[in-house]
Structure 1
Amino acid sequence: MTMADDTEDVELDFAADEQERARRSAVIRHPLASFFHLFFRVVAIVVYLLCDWISKSFASCFVLIIALLSFDFWSVKNVTGRLLVGLRWWNQIDEDGRSLWVFEAKKASRGSNTGTEAEARIFWLGLIICPLIWTFFFFTSLFSLKIKWLSLVVASISLQAANLYGYLRCKAGGQNGQPPDKCSFSGQHLLQRPDIIFGIL
């Protein structure tokens, strides 16, 4: 007398599990993008700190730092944001001449080409910490009465803050589960959702 076997054969997809494990273990999938995400902004801060040793001319330091931060602005806005966190933003002019801001978040999927968690951490820390450093430089220039340096620091804060704001808007739209909208450049939505800012760290 034999007992009936109630067990069923279950197919396990080991290949998919191996691919997911390999994806997670690849700490840096985009090493060049991760490098250039930090390179221009860190070099601009170092040049600002060592400007008296590099050159006696304020104009040459000003041009060098603004050039570095412009390269940083372009690379973060157009390349590293898309590769490391799957976000991008831009401005466009419609037929009526109105300025519209567009914010996009790539939907996460198993085969997506976005970065790993380590790369996302590098992206957000670089995007948040550097504007804070420039804000510190603003107050040190203001209180030490280095008025000519204030214009440089204000321009630096503007370039860094624009990227930070754009990517926070992209993240806000992506977390809502809705496609980010075309809208005016205002911070009301971010002020209503402070968890977005603290959730990225």
Structure 2
Amino acid sequence: MMRQESSDEAEDVSLFDADDEGQRKSKRKRIRHPVACFFHLFFRISAIVVYLLCEFLSNSFIACFVTIILLLSCDFWTVKPSSQGKRVSSEAESKIFWLGLIICPILWVIFVFSTFFSFKLKWLAVVIMGVALQGSNLYGYIKCKIGSGKNLTSMATSYLGRQFFKTAMKKENTES
């Protein structure tokens, strides 16, 4: 008993006659490089987890130190820019990348303060390396995003100068 479908039933029609705008948006939000996204977060988060659980996992400070440094170094290798041409990433991938790139160095800075307040100064070398590696990675990508020819310090100085000038001009105009 085979059922025959009419041509109207077999036709794939979008719900409520919506145009393909929704399809285009979903393609932008879809993750196109799941392996790269996974490893970008994996190495960063693994280094943090190993640091937090290191005293429970191993009695060897050196083993923990080396493991954390290797994980953070693998992160550099994983997310390095491709020289084979520009790869297009989706909005979701961009958000994952930048959130991971910004949040992890912030956590390492928090760990620096926690080592001071907990008086576990032997871990200070580990957290400083975490800040240095993650911070330099963040700095490099911000510099690439803004433009490699510009110096971040001069850009910040220029921005602050413009803001100061605008404030001074507004103040002068309100006094007149």
State the TM-score, normalizing by the size of structure 2: 0.70
Indicate the residue corresponding to 2:92 in structure 1: 118
**Distance in 2 separating the partners of 1:77 and 1:172:** 17
**Distance in 2 separating the partners of 1:44 and 1:192:** 37
1:54-98 superposed Cα distances (whole Å, 9 cap, x missing partner): 10110110010000000012212345xx89xx9xxxxxxxxxxxx
Identical aligned residues as a percent: 54
The structure 2 residue matched to 1:164, chosen from 138, 141, 157, is 138
More strand by share: 1
Secondary structure at 1:115's aligned position in 2? Answer: coil
Indicate the residue corresponding to 2:153 in structure 1: 187
Q: Given the alignment of the two structures, is residue 153 of structure 1 paired with residue 153 of structure 2, yes or no?
A: no
Count of paired positions: 140
**Distance in 2 separating the partners of 1:164 and 1:193:** 20
Indicate the residue corresponding to 2:46 in structure 1: 43
Q: CA deviation at 1:192?
A: 4.5
Q: CA deviation at 1:191?
A: 5.7
**Distance in 1 separating the partners of 2:128 and 2:156:** 22
Classify 1:142/1:192 alpha carbon distance in 2 versus 1 (closer, same or farther; 3 Å). Answer: farther
Secondary structure at 2:89's aligned position in 1? Answer: coil
**Distance in 1 separating the partners of 2:115 and 2:79:** 27
Residue 40 of structure 1 contacts residue 69 of structure 1 at CA under 8 Å; is this kept in 2?
A: yes
Q: Given the alignment of the two structures, is residue 72 of structure 1 paired with residue 46 of structure 2, yes or no?
A: no
Indicate the residue corresponding to 1:199 in structure 2: none
Residue 143 of structure 2 contacts residue 152 of structure 2 at CA under 8 Å; is this kept in 1?
A: no
Q: CA deviation at 1:118?
A: 0.8
Q: Which runs of 5+ in 1 are unaligned?
A: 1-16, 87-105, 107-112, 174-179, 195-201
Indicate the residue corresponding to 2:14 in structure 1: none
Classify 1:170/1:191 alpha carbon distance in 2 versus 1 (closer, same or farther; 3 Å). Answer: farther
State the TM-score, normalizing by the size of structure 1: 0.62
Classify 1:55/1:160 alpha carbon distance in 2 versus 1 (closer, same or farther; 3 Å). Answer: same
Q: Given the alignment of the two structures, is residue 57 of structure 1 paired with residue 23 of structure 2, yes or no?
A: no
RMSD: 2.7
Structure 1 ranges of 4+ moved more than 6 A? none
The structure 1 residue matched to 2:36, chosen from 30, 33, 37, is 33
Q: CA deviation at 1:52?
A: 1.1
Classify 1:190/1:163 alpha carbon distance in 2 versus 1 (closer, same or farther; 3 Å). Answer: farther
The structure 1 residue matched to 2:103, chosen from 129, 143, 148, is 129
Q: Which runs of 5+ in 2 are unaligned?
A: 1-18, 161-176
Residue 138 of structure 1 contacts residue 150 of structure 1 at CA under 8 Å; is this kept in 2?
A: yes
